[in-house]
DNA sequence: GTAATAGTGTCTTTCAGACAGTATGAC
DNA sequence: GTCATACTGTCTGAAAGACACTATTAC
């Protein structure tokens, strides 16, 4: 299920590489965005942190250059084979090609590039394999979930750790640059929080040695001895959050950032909802993705004026209060508006 | 300068591919966005259309998996080697991996994936090689330039051709889908024009057999005989626009669409401008990228309120009228606003 | 009745679009 | 003076944010 295990030809240097396809498969259930993870297998197994922090892995499949006519067809093929999931919405994210992303490459094996994809599936459709599980994605990025207010770990763990990172800069100019970057990416010292900078935040934490993967990678490369002065000391000084194998958490960060941007100008939320839904369901899904609570009435008005949905006349009464009307996505909006998204209104309820 | 020419091992099937790196290098000079093209070489040379429509090619370099630590470093390395250009802003666009994108793959050679990049360089910095030239990118996409109003070729050539394509659909449902798609992507029959759908438009024209590349590819695959009922008849029925080698025009379309989207929420325009500039210069560059004329006063107000620029106090008097003040990018905006872009105001002046 | 959610009305501020107007240079 | 561009002022309508209010269910 994970990385190819044939390791015959090691590094016959004729400019060739292998291609891996990684899928970030997202669904929203119980107001929680989740991604499909698999158990890391083979030599990647042992990479988990010590204190119960077990690594997850993204579903992965190699591209078969002979059979797969397009990358996307290759992806949907092995996802279907492995998980019985039929992917609907699929979008290419990014191609990750750093040499150091894969331990084998460092030890002279063939280099593996991986093309990351984002796929959205409907709530309810769940794969039936036991090695797989749907994990709430904020387990991997606790600092990204602002639905219950500013996450305490930002002030408690991230800001002080970044302060130390800033202070550790070589010269004043460096420190100044670090300060600015930390402030902008994490919204510190009066800078605004930008929900879409998910990748920038993860990469900053990685560079500052504050996520497990950074420590793992520096230990691997310098074989034993602590690297940047932060390695090798268990989990001390790490920011909370479940880690992943290889650079998979980076891929997920890319996916989250992209998705947060996209809901604002393309009607992708509806890929995650059943065909009919109530306004509150819709709002909860958007909130889950955006990671913030939205103003109810304004959200309603925005969606309404945007012409994104239309009522069905049907009511549901399991709301816990007054019955709600069921709505469906208004297909015609595509030919009326250039950018039909949910355009997030103000925060909080 | 173009595709790798070693063709020794043809298709030894062990799941490996070669990686090519393509760069869409953009500059804006004389109010015209331009991209750096090279003369197609080797077996790609003969692909030009007959009627003086000569194909261009993007600068291309192979990834050296041994030497290039990251894809981006590989890209900047060979761009520097080939053109003496030092790339500043570089952004990965997309990875193109269709098997049929490369003639050699179809005839059993090794499959080549290409990773497309967008690079922005400053006006004035121009490469000194003679095989290269800066071509206005609307030569490749004449239907994308609305600065002098709706391009006549949309009504004259594109709409009727798409009508024929719609009519040619197999069943009524197909025709309905085609109609809707054509209307939305090209803003026909009352649908709005969306400047960012550059790729969708090119791909539609390709599928409908209305660009040179479509005809070329179908002729190649069916070796002589006209394919979809439109092949092999010179340039009759083609939509105007300079073609490119392989799928390079698709890559450029991706770049243009991405850039048009990005200027609205990231201050990338300034990568294309000198350090100081007048308001009108800034507006002209934005208009060149967006492909529309903007309302002058409102543009000014938007940029001003956005805090994107600050005055320098200096004046320039070669404006043809009253001297204009020079402005510079306000760096501090990055920590003040989450999405500092130029947020296009209404069309026309 | 209370609690909980669904849905409407409206006030205010901000912002986008469009109009006009004045300022300062070249000729 | 004319012409061309630079820059400012202000009106208007639309949209965003925030508040209050009514409606309909379960208990």
pLDDT tens, residue by residue, A317-333: 888 888 999 999 999 99
When pLDDT is averaged across residues A174-200 and rounded to a whole number, the result is 94
Written as one string, the DSSP assignment of B125-159 is -----SSEEEEEGGGT-GGG--BTBS-HHIIIIIH
Residue A7 has a pLDDT of 36
What is the distance between the alpha carbons of residues B249 and B213, in angstroms, rounded to a whole number?
9
Is the shortest CB-to-strand distance from B117 to strand D under 7 Å? no
Residue B220 has pLDDT above 70, yes or no: no
Would you say B312 and B277 are in contact if contact means Cβ atoms under 8 Å apart?
no
Residue B10 has pLDDT above 70, yes or no: no
The residue among A129 and A223 whose pLDDT is bigger is A129
Same-domain check for residues A163 and A205: yes
Residue A225 has a pLDDT of 45
Count of domains observed in chain B? 3
Determine how β-strand A276-277 pairs with β-strand B16-29. Answer: unpaired
Nearest to A116 by CA among A140, A96, A138: A96
Would you say B214 and B239 are in contact if contact means Cβ atoms under 8 Å apart?
no
For B256, phi then psi, to 5°, come to -65, -45
Q: Which of A95, A101, A104, A265 to mutate to test the interface with B (most CBs of B within 10 A)?
A: A95
pLDDT digits (tens, 9 = 90+) for B106-120: 556 678 899 999 999
Residue B65 has a pLDDT of 84
> Residue written as tokens 């958490």?
A249
Determine how β-strand A112-120 pairs with β-strand A89-96. Answer: antiparallel
Per the structure, the residues numbered 270 to 299 in protein chain B that have their CB within 7 angstroms of any atom of strand D are 278-280, 296-297
Is the shortest CB-to-strand distance from A305 to strand D under 7 Å? yes
For B342, phi then psi, to 5°, come to -90, 0
pLDDT digits (tens, 9 = 90+) for B17-38: 889 999 999 999 988 999 999 8
Would you say A180 and A188 are in contact if contact means Cβ atoms under 8 Å apart?
no
Determine how β-strand A309-316 pairs with β-strand B16-29. Answer: unpaired
Residue B319 has a pLDDT of 81
Same-domain check for residues A180 and A79: no
Question: Which nucleotides on chain D have any atom < 7 A from a protein Cβ?
Answer: 3-10, 15-20, 23-26
Residue B188 has a pLDDT of 94
Same-domain check for residues A91 and A195: no
Does residue B249 belong to any structural domain of this protein?
no
Of A94, A95, A337, the CB nearest to B192: A337
Same-domain check for residues B119 and B167: no
What is the distance between the alpha carbons of residues B116 and A127, in angstroms, rounded to a whole number?
34
Nearest to A29 by CA among A148, A142, A136, A140: A136
When pLDDT is averaged across residues B169-178 and rounded to a whole number, the result is 94
Share of chain B above pLDDT 70, in %: 81
Note the Cα B277 to chain centre separation in Å: 25
What is the distance between the alpha carbons of residues B76 and B60, in angstroms, rounded to a whole number?
11
Q: How far is the CA of A265 from the C1' of C19 (A)?
A: 31
Q: How far is the CA of A318 from the C1' of C2 (A)?
A: 18
Same-domain check for residues B44 and B123: yes
pLDDT band at residue B86, thresholds of 50, 70 and 90?
A: confident
Residue of chain B with shortest Cα separation from A65: B15
Across all residues in chain A, what is the average pLDDT? 84
pLDDT band at residue A41, thresholds of 50, 70 and 90?
A: low
**Whole-prediction pTM:** 0.89
Domain final residue, candidates B241, B260, B280: B241
pLDDT band at residue B40, thresholds of 50, 70 and 90?
A: confident
For residues B220, B224, B227, B231, the Cα torsion angle rounded to the nearest 10 degrees is: 90
Does residue A255 belong to any structural domain of this protein?
no
Of B68, B196, B335, the CB nearest to A183: B335
Same-domain check for residues B35 and B88: yes
pLDDT band at residue B130, thresholds of 50, 70 and 90?
A: low
pLDDT digits (tens, 9 = 90+) for A224-268: 444 443 434 556 789 999 999 999 999 999 999 999 999 988 999
CATH code (residue A83)? 3.90.79.10
List the beta bridge partners of residue B36. Answer: B134
Nearest to A118 by CA among A282, A271, A248, A259: A259
Among A66-70, A338-342, B124-128, which stretch is predicted with the lowest mean pLDDT? Answer: B124-128
Domain final residue, candidates B111, B139, B167: B139
Across all residues in chain B, what is the average pLDDT? 84
Q: How far is the CA of A298 from the C1' of C12 (A)?
A: 15
Residue B213 has pLDDT above 80, yes or no: yes
pLDDT digits (tens, 9 = 90+) for A274-321: 999 999 999 999 999 999 988 888 899 889 988 899 999 999 988 888
Residue B2 has pLDDT above 70, yes or no: no
pLDDT digits (tens, 9 = 90+) for A124-157: 766 666 678 899 999 999 999 999 889 999 999 9
Does residue A144 belong to any structural domain of this protein?
no
Integer angstrom CA distances of residue A47 from A35, A50, A55, A56, A217: 20, 9, 7, 10, 10
Residue B139 has pLDDT above 80, yes or no: yes
Does residue B105 belong to any structural domain of this protein?
yes
The two tokens of residue A321 are 């209060």
What is the distance between the alpha carbons of residues A225 and B289, in angstroms, rounded to a whole number?
51
Residue A265 has a pLDDT of 87
Same-domain check for residues B86 and B184: no
When pLDDT is averaged across residues B206-228 and rounded to a whole number, the result is 75
Task: Look up residue A185 and give its DSSP letter.
Answer: H
Q: Where are the alpha helices (DSSP H) in chain B?
A: 71-83, 103-106, 152-153, 159-167, 172-186, 198-207, 212-221, 248-262, 279-290, 296-305, 333-336
What is the distance between the alpha carbons of residues A185 and B94, in angstroms, rounded to a whole number?
25
Instruction: Spell out the residues 6+ positions from residue A224 whose beta carbon is closer than 8 angstroms to its own.
Output: none
Give the range of the structural domain holding residue B274, as residue numbers without chain letter: 269-336
Same-domain check for residues A196 and A272: no
The two tokens of residue A162 are 């970044």
Same-domain check for residues B23 and B92: yes
The whole-angstrom distance between B233's CA and the closest CA on chain A is: 28
SS3 B194: coil
Does residue A247 belong to any structural domain of this protein?
no
Residue A127 has a pLDDT of 62
CATH code (residue B324)? 1.10.10.10
pLDDT band at residue B177, thresholds of 50, 70 and 90?
A: very high
pLDDT digits (tens, 9 = 90+) for A94-112: 999 887 766 665 556 678 8
Same-domain check for residues A22 and A121: yes
pLDDT digits (tens, 9 = 90+) for A46-94: 554 444 356 789 998 999 888 888 999 999 998 988 888 889 899 999 9
Does residue A314 belong to any structural domain of this protein?
yes
Same-domain check for residues A50 and A134: yes
Contacts 24+ apart (CB under 8 A), A36-39: A36/A83, A36/A85, A36/A127, A36/A132, A36/A133, A36/A134, A37/A132, A37/A133, A37/A134, A37/A135, A37/A244, A38/A1, A38/A2, A38/A131, A38/A132, A39/A1, A39/A131, A39/A132
What is the distance between the alpha carbons of residues A321 and A341, in angstroms, rounded to a whole number?
28
Does residue B97 belong to any structural domain of this protein?
yes
When pLDDT is averaged across residues B277-294 and rounded to a whole number, the result is 92
Residue A8 has a pLDDT of 37
Residue B13 has pLDDT above 60, yes or no: no
What is the distance between the alpha carbons of residues B211 and B153, in angstroms, rounded to a whole number?
14
Domain final residue, candidates A88, A105, A139: A139
When pLDDT is averaged across residues B4-16 and rounded to a whole number, the result is 49
Q: Which residues of A touch B99 (CB under 8 A)?
A: 65, 68-70
When pLDDT is averaged across residues B144-159 and rounded to a whole number, the result is 94
Same-domain check for residues A29 and A134: yes
Does residue B196 belong to any structural domain of this protein?
yes
Nucleotide at minimal C1' distance from the B306 CA: C15
What is the distance between the alpha carbons of residues B202 and B39, in angstroms, rounded to a whole number?
22
For B116, phi then psi, to 5°, come to -90, 140
Residue A289 has a pLDDT of 94
The residue among A52 and B313 whose pLDDT is bigger is B313
Of B14, B69, B97, the CB nearest to A70: B97
């Amino acid at each position: 299920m994970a990385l190819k295990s044939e390791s015959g030809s090691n590094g016959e240097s004729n400019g060739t590489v292998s291609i891996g396809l990684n899928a970030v498969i997202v669904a929203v259930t119980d107001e929680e965005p989740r991604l499909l993870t698999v158990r890391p297998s083979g030599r990647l197994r042992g990479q988990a942190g010590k204190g119960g922090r077990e690594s997850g892995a993204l579903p992965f499949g190699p591209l078969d250059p002979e059979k797969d006519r397009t990358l996307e067809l290759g992806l949907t093929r092995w996802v279907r084979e492995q998980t019985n999931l039929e992917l609907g919405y699929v979008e290419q994210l990014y191609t990750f090609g750093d040499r150091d992303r894969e331990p084998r490459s460092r030890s002279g094996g063939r280099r593996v590039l991986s093309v990351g994809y984002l796929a959205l599936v409907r709530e309810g459709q769940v794969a039936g394999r036991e090695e797989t599980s749907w994990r709430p994605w904020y387990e991997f990025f606790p600092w990204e979930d602002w639905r219950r207010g500013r996450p305490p770990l930002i002030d408690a763990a991230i800001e002080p750790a970044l302060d130390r990172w800033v202070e550790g800069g070589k010269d004043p100019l460096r420190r100044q640059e670090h300060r600015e970057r930390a402030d902008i990416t994490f919204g510190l010292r009066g800078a605004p929080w930008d929900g879409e900078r998910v990748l920038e935040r993860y990469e900053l934490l990685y560079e500052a040695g504050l996520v497990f993967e950074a420590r793992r990678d520096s230990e691997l490369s310098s074989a034993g001895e602590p690297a940047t002065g932060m390695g090798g000391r268990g989990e001390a000084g790490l920011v909370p959050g479940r880690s992943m194998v290889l650079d998979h958490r980076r891929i997920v960060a890319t996916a989250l950032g992209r998705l947060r941007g996209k809901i604002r100008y393309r009607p992708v939320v509806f890929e995650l909802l059943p065909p009919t839904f109530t306004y509150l369901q819709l709002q909860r899904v958007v909130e889950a993705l955006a990671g913030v609570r939205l103003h109810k009435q304004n959200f309603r008005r925005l969606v309404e004026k945007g012409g994104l949905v239309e009522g069905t006349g049907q009511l549901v009464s399991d709301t816990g209060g007054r019955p709600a009307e069921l709505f469906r996505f208004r297909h015609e909006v595509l030919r009326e508006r250039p950018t039909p998204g949910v355009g997030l209104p103000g925060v909080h309820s």
